[in-house]
Amino acid sequence: MEYLCLTLLASAGESEAAFKSRLTAFWTHLLRTAPDTYKAVYAEAKDFDTTGGRTSRAYMVEADSAAAVAAALAASGVDALPLDPADTYTKYEASGSDWFQIAH
């Protein structure tokens, strides 16, 4: 199984706490409405980061389902950096100490 890194971006000026709350609401909604898509999300970065001056959070997503996850995010108004299908990661790389594995 290969994974892609999906980086989500807060809105301009959105605080980390507000972004975290919005992500929690999104993931809860996705889990309830599209559980198969949710299952494709393998890991979440342990820490928030800053990308382009905006708060960000990275996720490891199954490569075969990454487009579906990105589409669900876009439909919910969550910005993400474009996916790079050539930049893949192994399960080992997606399980490092910088990542929380998401229980399914």
Give the tens place of pLDDT for each residue, 41-96: 999 999 999 999 999 999 999 999 999 999 999 999 999 999 999 999 999 999 88
pLDDT score of 21:
97
Task: Give the residue numbers spanning the domain of 17.
Answer: 3-101
Residue 88 sits at φ, ψ, to 5 deg, of: -100, 160
Q: What is the mean pLDDT of residues 20-44?
A: 96
Enter the pTM of the model: 0.94
Residue 15 has pLDDT above 90, yes or no: yes
Domain count of the fold of the chain: 1
